[in-house]
Structure formats: C-alpha cells, structure tokens
Chain A
Amino acid sequence: DIQMTQSPSSLSASVGDRVTITCQASQDISNSLNWYQQKPGKAPKVLIYDASNLETGVPSRFSGSGSGTDFTFTINSLEPEDIATYYCQQYDDFPPITFGQGTRLEIK
C-alpha cells in the first residue's frame, strides 16, 4: 500500500499569512493526488484535484503543486473561515485509497 506522509500535523497562523502543507508519497503516484478540507463536524470537501487543479467554486487563494512523490498545498492570505483540518489523498494505487494523517490549521 502507498503511504502518505503529511506535515505538519498542526499549525497556527495569522489571518493574511501564507500557509503551506506538504504530502509525501511512499512511491511515485504521478499527479494522482487530491486535497480535502474538513471543518469540525462536517464531511470532507475537495479543494484541489489531480495535484494542482482547483475545484469549481473554491477560492483562488487555495492552490496545489507537485508530482511524483512530493506535493504541496498552499493557502495564500489565510482567512478566518479556513480553520479546518486538511488531508491529502492518493488514488494512483487502488485499492486502497490512502489519506495523509491530516493537518489541523488554527488561527493565531
């Protein structure tokens, strides 16, 4: 199974900051990676698909990059409503679908 190592596990940032989360796959997954946002008590919601494509309706301050084994998720200019836990997910080697451990984002 492909392991997804996500870091950091938590971070605290100020409104307006640029926030970066990384996800590393245990083997080459090309661009087969999605990023999800999960707010407390809610289901996950896709933000970025195929590593770098912005889901329709998602604000442009969210972006993704990378291919192969190393991926980056960025929020440019953090907003208060971005408080959530963020997960990467690979679909290159299925089954199983595997997720990163999650990054809990808090506002300073």
Chain B
Amino acid sequence: QLVESGGGLAQPGGSLRLSCAASGFPFSSYEMNWVRQAPGKGLEWISYISSGGSTIYYAESVKGRFTISRDNAKNTVSLQMNSLRAEDTAVYYCARGGIVATILYWGQGTLVTVSS
C-alpha cells in the first residue's frame, strides 16, 4: 500500500513537501516514482529514484525545482517542491516500479494547488 500526504494550497514561488508511506512490501527493494495529473488532463511522470537511492531522474518540467528522496528505514519516499508555479497544480501520485519492476502500482494521490 502507498499513502501520499502533504498536499494542499501553496502560493506561486512557494514550497511544499510531499511524502509517500509504503507498507506491505519490501520497500528497500523497489524503485519509486512520482507521477502527476493536472485537473482534467493525462498522466505526467516527473521523478524516479532507484531502490537504494543512488539513481535519480527528473522530468525537464521540474528539474532544478523538485527533489526526490527516500528513507528506506522509514519506508517513505518524499518530493520536495520549490519555486512552485500555477502549472504544478495537480494530483500527485507516488508509484512503485520503474526500470527493474516495470509495472507501476499507485497510491491514491494527494492534491497540490498552486494559487495566490
């Protein structure tokens, strides 16, 4: 199970930190991602972290503004979002999977709204 938290309202230029708590599987063995979905739009992958945390990727749309991290002792993956823009408004999903385990399994999502 994956449970996201930390969403809410942020001002343009502001920051927000999302967390995803994992349970029911060996978290430290799995890659993790963040995928977002703007209101009424499709799915956009934004970040990946390998099982050990040594390999990280970002979509161009968030590179330099967002930072993914994980704590395998606490079974959590986080997304630090800085310099937020209106276009970052979306439901943010954490999803297990990636290069090794290629099927994505998703949390229920958390809504981030960027507005003044």
Give chain A's interface residues, CB within 8 Å of chain B. 32, 34, 36, 42-46, 49-50, 55, 87, 89, 91, 94-102
| A87 CB contact (under 8 Å) in B33, B42, B107 | B42
The 12 sampled A-B contact pairs (Cβ below 8 Å) are A34-B103, A36-B104, A43-B93, A43-B107, A43-B108, A44-B93, A44-B104, A50-B102, A55-B103, A87-B43, A94-B98, A97-B104
Q: Which single residue of chain B is at the shortest CB-CB distance from A94?
A: B99
Interface size class of B (residues with CB under 8 A): 20 to 34
Shortest Cβ distance from residue B37 to the other chain A in the assembled complex, whole angstroms = 9
Bound together, the chains give a CA A50 to CA B101 distance in angstroms of 11
- Most chain B beta-carbon neighbours within 10 Å: one of A32, A44, A89, A95: A95
B48 at the A interface (CB under 8 A): yes
Give chain B's interface residues, CB within 8 Å of chain A. 33, 35, 42-45, 48, 57-59, 93, 98-99, 102-109
Please determine whether B109 and A43 come into contact, CB atoms closer than 8 angstroms.
yes
Shortest Cβ distance from residue B77 to the other chain A in the assembled complex, whole angstroms = 16
Please determine whether B102 and A102 come into contact, CB atoms closer than 8 angstroms.
no
Bound together, the chains give a CA A100 to CA B44 distance in angstroms of 10
